[in-house]
Each structure stands twice: as structure tokens, then as C-alpha cells.
Amino acid sequence: MQYALGLLFALGSAFMTWQCVRLWKDPSLVGHFMNTFAFMPFGKEVKRGEVRSLALTSGSLWGITVLLFMGLTDVDMSGAWTVVFVIALVTVLGALACEVCVVLFNAPKFVVPPHMRSDLGSIATHRKKRREQR
């Protein structure tokens, strides 16, 4: 059963990567992806930020998949497996930190789809709206 769960997680990571590639190639999909984040209790700016950070989410999922399979197969944490563990862990933590930066500040630009690089981050958008209301 646990291997089926691991396989399902790997398939989910592959699906997210495929969706990310689609988003990078087709700017018209941004609205569709924003609708998929409708469950989030945040504003439109944060949802758009989550769409911008889809590549980082995908990378994080692959790191989690590696960690999950290492746990499922009960590998001996020595030698090369320690390196694999550290790389996967740094990938997950780094992707999460960058995802926060992309949502809030839209930086670094190279991880954002080209057609969304000119967007303001959530904080700058919020400040702009407050200035317009005054």
C-alpha cells in the first residue's frame, strides 16, 4: 500500500511538472490556473503569485517525492544516500523559500513564466491599491 502511495505521489509530481510546462508555453492558461486556486482564502494577488510560482512548487514536489521514496525503501543513510537526502532537502526548503519570494515580490524572475515577469508582487500590488484609494 505504501508503494502505491509513493507511486501516486510521483505521478502527481509528474502531472504538476506537465502543467507547469503548459503554463510557461501558453499565457492564456493563467486564468484557468487562477481558478484552480479558488479554494485559497487569499486575494487575487496571492493566487496569481501562486500561479507564478508553479515551477517552484513542482520542484519542491520532486524533492518531497525523493524523500518519500527514501523513507519507503528504508535506505541506509550513508555515503551517496546522505548526499541524495541533503540535495532533496535543500531543494524542498529552497523552493519553498523562493516560492514565498515569488508570491510576495515576484523575484527571482528566472523562475517565473516569461509572460508573468512584469507582474508586481503581492505586496507591491497591495501598496499600489492603497495609494489609489487615498
Confirm whether 132 is domain-assigned: no
* pLDDT over 90 at 16, yes or no: yes
Range(s) of the domain holding residue 10? 2-124
Domain count, the chain: 1
Confirm whether 129 is domain-assigned: no
Say what the pTM is: 0.90
Q: Band the pLDDT of 3: cuts 50, 70, 90.
A: confident
CA 114/CA 55 separation, integer angstroms: 12
Give per-residue pLDDT as tens, 23-39. Answer: 999 999 999 999 998 88
In this predicted structure, what is the pLDDT of residue 37? 86
CB 57 within 8 A of CB 70: no
Residue type at position 43: G
Confirm whether 50 is domain-assigned: yes
Confirm whether 131 is domain-assigned: no
Confirm whether 133 is domain-assigned: no
Give per-residue pLDDT as tens, 91-130. Answer: 999 999 999 999 999 999 999 999 999 999 999 999 999 9
Cα distances from 10 to residues 16, 58, 60, 130, in angstroms, run 10, 11, 12, 43
Confirm whether 26 is domain-assigned: yes
Confirm whether 48 is domain-assigned: yes
